[in-house]
Amino acid sequence: MADIGFIGLGNMGRGMCANLIKAGHKLYVYSKSEAEKQYFAETAEICESAAEVCLNSDFLFLSLPDSPVVEGIIQEFLETDIRGKIVIDTSTSNPISTRELNDKIAAAGGFMLDSPLLAGPEEARNGTLTAFAAGDEEIFEKVKPLLMSYCSECTYVGPIGNAHLIKLAQNFVGLGQALLYAQIYPVMEAYGIKASEMMQHFDNEVLSNWVFRFYSDKYVNKDYRKDFAMELGLKDLMYMKDLHDELKVPAFMLDGAVDLLRLSLKIEAEESPDFSYAAETMNKLCAGLYES
């Protein structure tokens, strides 16, 4: 069995970590949250720093909110000793940053895979996540049995950064679709067609998919429960914006999506709204309560 380090024990990381323990591996875990660390007090070794995790582990899993946090943790690894160790970043990270980090890790004698996830906390708990993985293929084959502790499917997609690229592309398409419906339902209601009626018209073999059904239900019922934080959605779209900027090409549809999210975060009173709250912002704009 492997000695595994796991940093980031939030909604996704907790389930993944639990499944690695269930598979019989020894886990060294770290989180800034005392509550998250104590959750594993009886089943894993609790560490007080990322450096301590690195010293005790051969495989270093990261499940973190954004690239700046990932960069900070990996800098701690580099200042310790990462020779021969494998970093697996399961976060939704910026692929530009991922490739830069990979170069630093390789120069220090370590290895890296990017392996972002599809689905959510329930699948993480059940061990039924879907993942991509990118990096050296031999390293992927070495790590794959660990990935399958919490995945039902994991697909190798080529050189480092490719998995994060694919995840961002999927998020752009999915979140963009969610924002299209967030915009069109309030506009149609302003012209006298109820959102519930529009949902029926959209519900056909051409347009209907999981994103349509999930977000349309939230919009029609004005159910903005916290499923996916708007800040995280904006973060993912801004990483996609970075890719466009690096190529010096316009991001036509992306810019509109970013504008709506920024406006929603600016004017909504709720501290951390759900991604679906963009529809409520549009409702208020259509009612003349705010100016865009």
Residues 35 and 116 in one domain: yes
Alpha carbons within 13 A on the beta-carbon side of 256: 11
Q: Give the mean pLDDT of 198-219.
A: 94
pLDDT for position 126? 96
Yes or no: say if 24 and 47 are a contact pair by the CB < 8 Å rule: no
Q: Give the span between the Cα atoms of 141 and 232, in whole angstroms.
A: 30
Q: How confident is the model at residue 54 (pLDDT cuts 50, 70, 90)?
A: very high
Residue 151 φ then ψ, to 5°: -115, 150
Residues 264 and 144 in one domain: no
pLDDT for position 268? 76
Residue finishing a domain among 107, 124, 158 = 158
Q: Of all residues in the chain, what percent carry a pLDDT higher than 90?
A: 90
Residue 196 φ then ψ, to 5°: -65, -35
pLDDT tens sequence across 236-249: 999 999 999 999 99
290 pLDDT more than 80: no
253 pLDDT more than 70: yes
Q: How confident is the model at residue 272 (pLDDT cuts 50, 70, 90)?
A: confident
194 pLDDT more than 70: yes
Residue 244 lies in domain = 164-286
Residue 60 domain flag = yes
pTM of the predicted model as reported, rounded to 2 decimal places: 0.93
Residues 108 and 11 in one domain: yes
Measured over the CA atoms of residue 103, residue 105, residue 111 and residue 115, the dihedral's sign is negative
Q: Give the mean pLDDT of 100-122.
A: 96
291 pLDDT more than 80: no
Q: What is the CATH number of the domain that holds 112?
A: 3.40.50.720
pLDDT for position 271? 74
Number of separate domains in the chain: 2
Residues 95 and 114 in one domain: yes
Q: Give the mean pLDDT of 72-77.
A: 98
270 pLDDT more than 70: no
Q: Give the mean pLDDT of 51-64.
A: 98
pLDDT, mean over the chain: 95
Residues 98 and 177 in one domain: no
Yes or no: say if 3 and 59 are a contact pair by the CB < 8 Å rule: yes
What b/e sequence results for 217-232 when a residue is b if at least 16 CB atoms lie within 10 Å of its CB, and e otherwise?
Answer: ebbbeeebeeeeebbb
pLDDT for position 292? 65
Q: Give the mean pLDDT of 218-239.
A: 95
Measured over the CA atoms of residue 244, residue 250, residue 256 and residue 259, the dihedral's sign is positive
269 pLDDT more than 70: no
Q: How confident is the model at residue 120 (pLDDT cuts 50, 70, 90)?
A: confident
